[in-house]
Amino acid sequence: MTAIKRTPLKIVAMIPARYGASRFPGKLMQDLGGKPVIVRTYEAAQATGLFDQVYVVTDSDVIFKEIEWHGGKAIMSQKEHDCGTDRIAEAVVHMDVDIVVNVQGDEPFTSKEGLEQVLSVFNGADADQIDLASLMTEIHDWREISDPNAVKVVVDKENFALYFSRSPIPYPRDKNTAVQYFKHKGIYAFRKQALLDFYRLPMTILEATEKIECIRFLEYGKRIKMAISNTQGIEIDTPEDLVRANKILKEEKRLPINNKYRNFPMVPKVVFGRGCFDQLTSIIGPYRKDKAPFIFLVDEVFKNKESVISRIPLRFNDKLLFISSFEEPKTEQVDVLVKSIKTEFTYRPSGIIGIGGGSILDLAKAVSIMLTNKGQASEYQGWDLVKNKAVYHVGIPTISGTGAEVSRTTVLTGPEKKLGINSDFTPFDQVVLDPELTDGVPKNQWFYTGMDCFIHCVESLNGTFLNEFSKSYGEKAYDLCLEIFLDPKVSPESAQEKLMMASWHGGMSIAYSQVGVAHAMSYGLSYVLGVKHGIGNCIVFQHLEDYYPEDVALFNQMIVHHGITLPKEVCRDLTPVQMDTMVSIALSLSPLWENALGPDWEQKVNAKVLKDLYRKM
């Protein structure tokens, strides 16, 4: 093993480029949006900013000249080579470099994410045991698992490769065991010595049998660390691939227009009905991975409620954690939970199951994300910052209204801001809607959380972002709220069921629009005074007759109808600094204001307007 040079590692990218590729001759010189494929690949690698240098190593004058012509660096191979690895090994013999990354010449959409993943392993605690690193991606389709063109890899618990094969490995003798299969992706990051060794050492029997280059490393006792990346690249293997790639390039240029419409994920599986909680055992069964526990995050309020706790299907080393929802979830709390799970268990959990209100559901979503994404939760607050698919996660609401069970966000208070982790990986994989679980919610709390739903509808339906999609959900949820909170004929059981569905529809409505004034101002209250979301919305909403006149009147009727009293003068003792913070937190939520008041919202609302409103509360 090479001695490791500590910081900073000198990293180069090498793009092996043979002119006469067997399946599609001359493919690297084909035109892709006005430039040859190989030039696109070169530029993509350079644009990642991860490399000290990027080189193309080629046997072809044509490619060599093309790269130089575009201002890139190319190296001519001196010898004939059997494979790309030999080609780049020859090129680095005399180079002063620590890590060499091979980038496939025919992957013009090489993404920064995959390369970052493969390089990141050299910063891990076990870095000095790693000779080279490579990537793998989760596969689920049995056709792909059994396809000999897809190379599968199995790893040890630290993600070091045990073996690569064109056969499905492991062989699933018992077809009911949930097995995660991984496909190998042909990106490598070598320590220089490992690469030179490869060049020097003759091919061995397993490599020759499977026709998989990297087996040679294993046969000579080298250690290959595998990183997981689920982003899809596009290889140009056939003329059809080239047509497809050209199309993608055109679409990318049109991206601003395309992004006008949201393409958001929905919860793929949901079960509804009184008592459906009992189905949890069979629902999660297929997702159980050998030795990998399910972690149940349950609101502390259920600690002594046997009728619920005894039905939680704990098996083997599953873990049940009672969590207080006295305060809303914090990024730090997520980090602590994730760390304790990682410390206690060798295997990544089979799943995270949240049982509680919006607070616990958000916590469950965030923990499942942070189990597969490095760093701290606060780094992911914002839009689409999450890189890896979360652990399987299930949401089981026990109080209705927030829509957290269906939304694409998990709202967290961080060191600098209160903001959600909004991503395609945030929504639950499964939701269990059992109205019976909402038995026992205290009346005031029922009202506050229920009003969150009502206010979602009001803000969505009166917003400038409204379209038929959000309207269809918003109108249904709004009508349900009127029944639940104003119609005396509705029975308590029926009200529970209706509110559960209103919460869901309200959440779906804002998925395609946005909330508005009440939420913006409630976030300010919450950040400075720790006022919780539901009650904060109510405190604000009663004063918003200028913005939502009819609905504030209805809200006041509901308050009277249910004998709810709201706290008064919560902002009375604020210091000027606190008031300024509150106002600036509220005003920083520009999408909410734009939805409420239109693109010129800054002309319609300002710090003074907000201060006057807050003083009334």
405 part of the interface to Zn ion, by CB under 5 A: no
Residue among 479, 484, 393 at smallest CA distance from 435:
484
Rank residues 72 and 450 by Cβ distance to Zn ion and give the closer one: 450
Number of residues that bind Zn ion (CB under 5 A): 1
The helix or strand, by DSSP H or E, that contains position 611, with its residue range, turns out to be helix 607-616
* Nearest distance from C-beta of residue 506 to ligand NAD, angstroms: 9
Part in contact with Zn ion (CB under 5 A); list of ranges 78-86, 408-416, 447-455, 468-476: 447-455
Q: Are strands 152-155 and 181-191 parallel, antiparallel or unpaired?
A: antiparallel
Please work out, in degrees rounded to the nearest 5, the angle formed at the alpha carbon of residue 360 by the alpha carbons of 358 and 361.
60
328 part of the interface to Zn ion, by CB under 5 A: no
Number of helical (H) and strand (E) elements in the chain, helices listed first: 23, 20
Residue among 550, 493, 576, 540 at smallest CA distance from 273:
493
* Nearest distance from C-beta of residue 545 to ligand NAD, angstroms: 23
Amino acid letter, 21: A
| Residue 104 partner contact from Zn ion, ligand NAD, none using kind-dependent CB cut-offs of 5 to 8 Å | none
Q: Which pair of structure tokens corresponds to residue 397?
A: 């609401």
Amino acid letter, 485: F
**Residue 16 to residues 83, 96, 137, 429: CA-CA distances in angstroms?**
9, 19, 23, 41
* Nearest distance from C-beta of residue 144 to ligand NAD, angstroms: 34
* Nearest distance from C-beta of residue 79 to ligand NAD, angstroms: 59
| Residue 407 partner contact from ligand NAD, Zn ion, none using kind-dependent CB cut-offs of 5 to 8 Å | ligand NAD
Rank residues 159 and 402 by Cβ distance to ligand NAD and give the closer one: 402
Torsion sign (Cα): 211, 212, 216, 221? negative
Amino acid letter, 382: G
* Nearest distance from C-beta of residue 455 to Zn ion, angstroms: 7
* Nearest distance from C-beta of residue 251 to ligand NAD, angstroms: 30
Q: How far apart are CA 514 and CA 457, in angstroms?
A: 10
| Residue 224 partner contact from ligand NAD, Zn ion, none using kind-dependent CB cut-offs of 5 to 8 Å | none
Write down how long the chain is: 617
| Residue 398 partner contact from Zn ion, ligand NAD, none using kind-dependent CB cut-offs of 5 to 8 Å | ligand NAD
Rank residues 204 and 307 by Cβ distance to ligand NAD and give the closer one: 307
362 part of the interface to Zn ion, by CB under 5 A: no
* Nearest distance from C-beta of residue 334 to Zn ion, angstroms: 20
The helix or strand, by DSSP H or E, that contains position 181, with its residue range, turns out to be strand 181-191
207 part of the interface to Zn ion, by CB under 5 A: no
Rank residues 331 and 537 by Cβ distance to Zn ion and give the closer one: 537
Q: How far apart are CA 1 and CA 49, in angstroms?
A: 28
452 part of the interface to Zn ion, by CB under 5 A: yes
Q: How far apart are CA 189 and CA 230, in angstroms?
A: 18
Rank residues 44 and 453 by Cβ distance to ligand NAD and give the closer one: 453
* Nearest distance from C-beta of residue 519 to ligand NAD, angstroms: 9
Residues 21-50 close enough to bind Zn ion by CB under 5 A: none
Rank residues 41 and 438 by Cβ distance to Zn ion and give the closer one: 438
Q: How far apart are CA 537 and CA 533, in angstroms?
A: 6
Part in contact with Zn ion (CB under 5 A); list of ranges 36-44, 251-259, 448-456, 567-575: 448-456
> Residues interacting with ligand NAD, by CB under 6 A?
299, 301, 325, 328-329, 356-360, 362, 398-399, 402-404, 407, 409-411, 437-438, 440-441, 445, 449, 452, 532-534
Rank residues 84 and 463 by Cβ distance to Zn ion and give the closer one: 463
Q: How far apart are CA 313 and CA 90, in angstroms?
A: 58
| Residue 462 partner contact from ligand NAD, Zn ion, none using kind-dependent CB cut-offs of 5 to 8 Å | none
| Residue 414 partner contact from Zn ion, ligand NAD, none using kind-dependent CB cut-offs of 5 to 8 Å | none
Rank residues 195 and 391 by Cβ distance to ligand NAD and give the closer one: 391
Sequence-ordered list of residues with C-beta below 8 angstroms from that of 83, at least 6 positions apart, any chain: 213
* Nearest distance from C-beta of residue 183 to ligand NAD, angstroms: 33
Q: How far apart are CA 375 and CA 388, in angstroms?
A: 12
> 3-class secondary structure for 7-26?
CCCCEEEEEEECCCCCCCCC
8 A C-beta contact, residue 136 and residue 226:
yes
| Residue 534 partner contact from ligand NAD, Zn ion, none using kind-dependent CB cut-offs of 5 to 8 Å | ligand NAD
459 part of the interface to Zn ion, by CB under 5 A: no
* Nearest distance from C-beta of residue 338 to ligand NAD, angstroms: 18
Rank residues 452 and 551 by Cβ distance to Zn ion and give the closer one: 452
Name the phi and psi angles at 152, rounded to 5: -95, 155
**Residue 338 to residues 227, 229, 344, 487, 608: CA-CA distances in angstroms?**
19, 20, 10, 45, 42
Rank residues 151 and 412 by Cβ distance to ligand NAD and give the closer one: 412
Rank residues 318 and 362 by Cβ distance to Zn ion and give the closer one: 362
Sequence-ordered list of residues with C-beta below 8 angstroms from that of 570, at least 6 positions apart, any chain: 525, 529, 531, 539, 617
**Can you give the binding site for Zn ion, defined by CB under 5 A?**
452
